[in-house]
């Protein structure tokens, strides 16, 4: 059974991300699974730092994009999410090609969610591991129950 409580497709995610940092960096959504999302990002002039390695901030942007999109799709309709914390460990550099991120749930609760994101290079080598914690917000005007 799929985790998603709201509609989520590659096309919908792409449409939502138009004219944002996501589209500016060339992030492409690839796959929606029963409990995961997959996207890729180019390692090019938009995403590298001065040493021509993938910028850690770009990796974090990919991670937060995947985790936030997944978290929203896992919420009841009308709810929204906001990031509380993100961390990232950059374990290997990438100089060219594409990196691919996959996010999977660690915890999907009523008021918080935690998502794990792994980013790999074209050869499958681990580039970055990240964890995102989000707060789940009820629809406007609806009081949160404790």
Band of residue 146 on the pLDDT scale cut at 50, 70, 90: low
Band of residue 140 on the pLDDT scale cut at 50, 70, 90: confident
Burial class (CB in 10 A: 0-12, 13-18, 19+), 45: exposed
CA distance readout (Å), 87 to 11, 118, 120, 128, 137: 28, 12, 16, 10, 21
Catalytic positions, please?
A: 64
pLDDT of residue 16: 96
pLDDT of residue 145: 59
pLDDT of residue 62: 98
Compute φ and ψ for 50, nearest 5 degrees. Answer: -55, -25
**C-alpha to C-alpha distance for 56 and 128, rounded to whole angstroms:** 9
pLDDT of residue 37: 98
pLDDT of residue 141: 73
**All domains in the chain, ordered by first residue:** 10-137 (3.10.129.10)
pLDDT digits (tens, 9 = 90+) for 22-53: 999 999 999 999 999 999 999 999 999 999 99
- The angle subtended at Cα 31 by Cα 70 and Cα 96, nearest 5°, is 100
pLDDT digits (tens, 9 = 90+) for 55-109: 999 999 999 999 999 999 999 999 999 999 999 999 999 999 999 999 999 999 9
């Amino acid at each position: 059974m799929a985790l998603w409580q709201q509609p989520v497709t590659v096309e919908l995610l792409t449409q939502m991300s138009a004219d944002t940092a996501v589209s500016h960096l060339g992030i492409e959504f690839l796959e929606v699974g029963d409990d995961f999302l997959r996207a890729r990002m180019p390692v090019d002039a938009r995403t590298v730092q001065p040493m021509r390695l993938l910028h850690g901030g770009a990796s974090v942007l990919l991670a937060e994009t995947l985790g936030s999109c997944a978290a929203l799709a896992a919420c009841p309709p009308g709810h929204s999410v906001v990031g509380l914390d993100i961390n990232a460990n950059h374990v290997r550099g990438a100089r060219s090609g594409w990196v691919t991120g996959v996010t999977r749930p660690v915890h999907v609760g009523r008021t918080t969610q935690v998502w794990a994101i792994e980013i790999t290079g074209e050869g499958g080598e681990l580039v970055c591991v990240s964890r995102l914690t989000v707060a789940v917000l009820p629809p406007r005007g609806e009081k949160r129950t404790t």
